[in-house]
Amino acid sequence: MNIAIIKDALESSLSLLNDEFESVVFDELKEDYKSVIVKIETSLKLIETNE
């Protein structure tokens, strides 16, 4: 599979999550957002390291 496509999808998802993060009202949901954001950031770093 093309890494560029995966990287683009991850970057787009990260951007959307970061945009929505501030509008999240419930603390539990905010923690879920933080967790997913960290996972995506980690994945992007791994992709960049392996390119």
Mean per-residue pLDDT of the chain = 94
Q: Residue 50: what pLDDT?
A: 85
Q: Residue 16: what pLDDT?
A: 96
Q: Which residue has tokens 């945009």?
A: 19
Does the structure show a pLDDT above 70 at 1? Answer: no
pLDDT in tens, 29-44: 999 999 999 999 999 9
Q: Residue 27: what pLDDT?
A: 93
At CA 33, angle to CA 29 and CA 36, rounded to 5?
135
